[in-house]
Chain A
Amino acid sequence: MAYSDKVVDHYTNPRNIGTLDKSKTNVGTGLVGAPECGDVMRLQIEVNHETGIIEDAKFKTFGCGSAIASSSLATEWLKGKSIDEALSIDNMEIVEELALPPVKIHCSVLAEDAIRSAINDYRAKNGLEPIESEKTHF
């Protein structure tokens, strides 16, 4: 199976690899997937308490090229967005942007889950209720 140019680009030059200090109250961490499924994503956001804007985003991913590209793209999109804007990112936008084939759609789902999980971690740290996902992916 051939990968799209965009997947290859993100895989070769991943954006925002790294680790944020998860002990900080303005950092939210999402860890999704499982080693036995062959995909684990960790996505972190650093939020400006004053403005509610995501000022930094980092990821680390264990997975195939599409999983790495999906999380790399997600961090790119997250930076500069408000929490609400971030929550509106849909996995299908990732699928379209990276031209993922059907067998790789789960990679985009995982990236969306990682975003939500990171946001909920941030909210929990700041005494807010978690946001339930309205959609189910199957």
Chain B
Amino acid sequence: MLKLPIYLDNNATTQVDPRVFEAMTPYFLEAYGNAASKSHPFGWKSEEAVDYAREQIAALIGSSEKEIIFTSGATESNNLAIKGVFEMYASKGNHIITLSTEHKAVLDTCKHLEKMGAEVTYLSVAEDGLIAVDAIAAAIKPNTILVTVMYGNNELGVLQPIREIGALCKERGVLFHTDATQAVGKIPVDVLADHIDLMSFTAHKMYGPKGVGALYVRRKNPRVKVTAQMDGGGHERGMRSGTLNVPGIVGFGKACEIARLEMAEESARLMVMRDRLETELLKLEESYLNGNKEHRLPHTSNISFKYVEGEGLMMGIKDVAVSSGSACTSASLEPSYVLKSLGLDDELAHSSLRFGLGRFTTDEEIDYTIKLVSEAVNKLRDMSPLWEMFKEGIDLKSIEWSEH
């Protein structure tokens, strides 16, 4: 029996896997010690659990467990990586290279650093959302200390050429950070093969709990250090103070272990469902896929339904939880900056929906979603003046719109 509403917003967050939840429970009421307490069994038990989780997490990304720094989530990891490198390597330079389609946690951190004297280059992506490695190579200067490029884009799902960018940075002696929040646990990520120096990721995007994330910090070739942004007890090799969130970390570890063991099967299954959803929805007239079709996450699809406004469409499909690139709720009325970066017309950017499938998505839910979205798009087009004009062959660009 189909249960409503249907959750297709797994790029925003995911349900905790019951196996993860089960692994976490003893660490609330029984093993509640502080992992930094060295003098009694309560502390030892927690420390042991944290060490084990660190191994589970390291195994997923091909790192050593000593290279995992626990944080509160990917936003903190991004802040720590970028601000930490900027401070630590100030004597080497002040130039940072990033993309205009990064998450706000990266872009706003860079903007903050610009006020502190950093020079930041925001590279534009191509129409398919991807950056050319050559463009990064051309932007590297003698004072460049860091390149930060996200692994998989949160709105589009497109995968940047991380391995090539990593190789380039290694060759040019520049540190490479990637925000891999959407990618880790969904596709194979190997920090060594990808030449990644710093990598942000988080538990809640891969069926773990919210409030716990990690920053991978390379220890060898080169040994990377970041200046702590949180001062205190000197936890996490001095890079991030604060009592460890033991239950969260245990859950994060378990989530990584499940991902490592089940990823291949799971991503293949999700891709089949995603492709079916996409194929059916793209059969609707004037609907377009946003972002590169080949290089992308297996569970994400971003589609624009031209002449229909995204927020209005979401209301018509209220039994399906998705995200829209439209932001009519904000005072600015600005649509998604990521979609605009692709050079999309505003009306296409306003007309987009992001579908994010997940571990618990069923075929039945996809069937229902296809039907509901198709009906809603058709209904809204019947009441859209833009659709009527399009059907009459009127070029919308020829009209002088009254801005308000």
Question: Chain A: residues with CB nearer than 8 A to chain B?
Answer: 1, 3, 8, 11, 14, 17, 19, 31-42, 59-65, 67-68, 103-104, 106, 109-110, 113, 117
> Does B315 make an interface contact (CB < 8 A)?
yes
Known: A32-B404, A109-B404, A113-B402. A38 touches B326 (CB 8 A): yes
For the complex with contacts A62-B309, A67-B312, 9 further pairs of A-B residues with Cβ separation under 8 Å are: A11-B315, A35-B345, A35-B350, A36-B347, A37-B333, A37-B346, A38-B346, A39-B333, A60-B383
Please tell me if the beta carbons of A61 and B384 are within 8 angstroms of each other in the complex.
Answer: yes
CA distance A34 to B333 in the complex (A): 11
Number of interface residues of B (CB under 8 A): 32
Please tell me if the beta carbons of B307 and A62 are within 8 angstroms of each other in the complex.
Answer: yes
Residue of B nearest to A34 (CB): B401
Please tell me if the beta carbons of B384 and A60 are within 8 angstroms of each other in the complex.
Answer: yes
Give the chain A neighbours of B404 by CB distance below 8 A. Answer: 32-34, 37, 39, 106, 109-110, 113
15 contacts between A and B (CB under 8 A): A35-B386, A36-B347, A36-B350, A38-B346, A38-B350, A60-B385, A62-B309, A62-B385, A62-B387, A63-B328, A64-B311, A64-B326, A68-B312, A68-B383, A113-B402
Question: Chain B: residues with CB nearer than 8 A to chain A?
Answer: 307-312, 315-316, 326, 328-331, 333, 335, 345-347, 350, 382-388, 396, 399, 401-404
CA distance A8 to B315 in the complex (A): 9
Give the chain B neighbours of A32 by CB distance below 8 A. Answer: 402, 404
CA distance A106 to B403 in the complex (A): 12
CA distance A59 to B384 in the complex (A): 9
Give the chain A neighbours of B333 by CB distance below 8 A. Answer: 37-39, 106
Give the most central of A32, A59, A65: most B CB within 10 Å. A65
Give the chain B neighbours of A117 by CB distance below 8 A. Answer: 402
Give the chain B neighbours of A37 by CB distance below 8 A. Answer: 333, 346, 403-404
Please tell me if the beta carbons of A40 and B385 are within 8 angstroms of each other in the complex.
Answer: yes
Give the most central of B308, B328, B329: most A CB within 10 Å. B328
User: Which of these, B311, B385, B387, B403, contacts A41 with CB under 8 Å?
Assistant: B385
User: Which of these, A19, A33, A109, contacts B388 with CB under 8 Å?
Assistant: A19
CA distance A99 to B49 in the complex (A): 52
At the interface, is chain A mostly helix, strand, loop or mixed? mixed
Please tell me if the beta carbons of B329 and A103 are within 8 angstroms of each other in the complex.
Answer: yes
Please tell me if the beta carbons of B312 and A64 are within 8 angstroms of each other in the complex.
Answer: yes
CA distance A62 to B305 in the complex (A): 12
Give the chain A neighbours of B330 by CB distance below 8 A. Answer: 103
Give the chain B neighbours of A38 by CB distance below 8 A. Answer: 309-311, 326, 328, 333, 335, 346, 350
Please tell me if the beta carbons of B308 and A62 are within 8 angstroms of each other in the complex.
Answer: yes
Residue of A nearest to B383 (CB): A17
User: Which of these, B309, B382, B388, B396, contacts A39 with CB under 8 Å?
Assistant: B309
- Distance between B390 CB and nearest chain A CB, rounded to angstroms: 11
User: Which of these, A34, A65, A103, A110, contacts B331 with CB under 8 Å?
Assistant: A103
- Distance between A95 CB and nearest chain B CB, rounded to angstroms: 15
CA distance A13 to B296 in the complex (A): 39
CA distance A88 to B283 in the complex (A): 46
CA distance A21 to B295 in the complex (A): 49
CA distance A119 to B187 in the complex (A): 58
Please tell me if the beta carbons of A65 and B312 are within 8 angstroms of each other in the complex.
Answer: yes
Give the chain A neighbours of B308 by CB distance below 8 A. Answer: 62
Known: A62-B309, A103-B330. A31 touches B346 (CB 8 A): no
Please tell me if the beta carbons of B383 and A33 are within 8 angstroms of each other in the complex.
Answer: no
- Distance between A133 CB and nearest chain B CB, rounded to angstroms: 12
Please tell me if the beta carbons of A35 and B396 are within 8 angstroms of each other in the complex.
Answer: yes
- Distance between A60 CB and nearest chain B CB, rounded to angstroms: 4
- Distance between B13 CB and nearest chain A CB, rounded to angstroms: 18
Give the chain A neighbours of B331 by CB distance below 8 A. Answer: 103
Residue of A nearest to B401 (CB): A34
Give the chain A neighbours of B382 by CB distance below 8 A. Answer: 17
Residue of A nearest to B315 (CB): A65
Give the chain A neighbours of B401 by CB distance below 8 A. Answer: 33-36, 40
Give the chain B neighbours of A68 by CB distance below 8 A. Answer: 312, 383
Residue of A nearest to B327 (CB): A38
User: Which of these, B315, B346, B388, B402, contacts A64 with CB under 8 Å?
Assistant: B315
CA distance A25 to B329 in the complex (A): 38
Please tell me if the beta carbons of B403 and A64 are within 8 angstroms of each other in the complex.
Answer: no
Known: A35-B347, A35-B396, A38-B333. A62 touches B386 (CB 8 A): yes
